[in-house]
Structure 1
Amino acid sequence: MDNLTPENPVFVTYAIAAALMVLKLMGQGWMTVYRMMKSDTGLVNPEDLRQTPLNPNPRADQLDLNDYVDRSRRMHRNDLENIPGFWMAGLLFVLVGPPLWLAQVLMYGFVGARLLHALAYLGKQNHEVRATFYTIGSLIVIYMALHALVGLVG
């Protein structure tokens, strides 16, 4: 477990990238809440139409699909599908002691790919653009997992 200390620059690289992804994941949830409040729409459950201090005038159309809100919700769901794999593969990758340069390229590359994916989603880019950034991030996670597996088993 000597690899999981602040004295290990590979672990520090992982910790920085992992923390940035925590902020991205949690921030995306707050962006969805902000968009729901700004548009007064995008609710998903019938019980959300109850009158409350935050929804003093509930309306049935608040449950209608609103792309402004749902786009953020889809981005959040995409983060939930991708970032946890990075956390796990990245930690296993740290355990096998890769070279610092490789860890930095891969881990900061993943962060960059996720941020570019988010910008492409916000900018309403087509699927091919978003898929390019998804693919980069996905291949990084797959590589780290395979590298860790070979290092731990081999």
Structure 2
Amino acid sequence: MQQISLENPVFATYVIASAIMVLKIMGQGWMTVYRMLKSDSGLASPEDLRQTLLNRSPRPEQLEVNDYVDRSRRMHRNDLENIPGFWMAGFLFVMVSPPLWLAQVLMYGFVAARAVHAVGYATRQNHEFRATFYTIGSLIVIFMALYVLGVVIF
């Protein structure tokens, strides 16, 4: 069976998990824009203070940090720091033909960890709560990378 085929259930698992993570990253970007528009604040760059159709009355305070907007921006940055590693390690993991049950536990476990992390961030849970789910996702990615190395080297 070819590894990169939807007939391969491990690859199909990877495709589903990866597509969900694409939606998470892109959705978080849109959430930041929504929060900027809703609060009329949290703009990121001085040039954003130009008068436009969406910013009819620009004001210098629109550049001040707004936690409502910045929280979403931090969530987006966190996704961009973590999800690409999953995509790479997950793809390599598919290539070494792991057992389906292991791929599902790890890949869907990563998606679940990122989802709980996002809910924790959005609901202002403390650092230890968020760090717990960051750690779970991170350990999953590290495990997949080590598994790949183990198969390739040994």
Counterpart AA for 2:105: V
Q: How far did 1:151 drift?
A: 1.1
Alignment correspondent of 1:118? 118
- Structure 1: unaligned runs, 5 residues or longer: none
Alignment correspondent of 1:65? 65
Mapped partners of 1:153, 1:95: distance in 2 = 14
Q: How far did 1:153 drift?
A: 2.2
Alignment correspondent of 2:39? 39
What whole-Å deviation, never above 9, does each CA across 1:1-21 have from its counterpart, x for those lacking one?
A: 811101100000000000000
Question: Is residue 105 of structure 2 the alignment partner of residue 105 of structure 1?
Answer: yes
Mapped partners of 1:151, 1:24: distance in 2 = 31
What whole-Å deviation, never above 9, does each CA across 1:114-146 have from its counterpart, x for those lacking one?
A: 000000001100000000000000000000001
**Matched residue count:** 154
Matches within 5 A, 1:1-150: 2-150=2-150
State the SS of the aligned residue for 2:93.
Answer: helix
Mapped partners of 1:42, 1:102: distance in 2 = 42
Mapped partners of 1:147, 1:135: distance in 2 = 18
Q: What is the aligned-residue RMSD (CA, Å)?
A: 0.8
- Structure 2: unaligned runs, 5 residues or longer: none
Counterpart AA for 1:59: R
Mapped partners of 1:27, 1:153: distance in 2 = 38
Mapped partners of 2:3, 2:14: distance in 1 = 11
Counterpart AA for 1:144: M
Given the two structures, how large is their TM-score scaled by the length of structure 1? Answer: 0.99
Mapped partners of 1:17, 1:36: distance in 2 = 29
State the SS of the aligned residue for 2:56.
Answer: coil
State the SS of the aligned residue for 1:2.
Answer: coil
> Runs ≥4 in structure 1, deviation > 4 angstroms?
none
State the SS of the aligned residue for 1:4.
Answer: coil
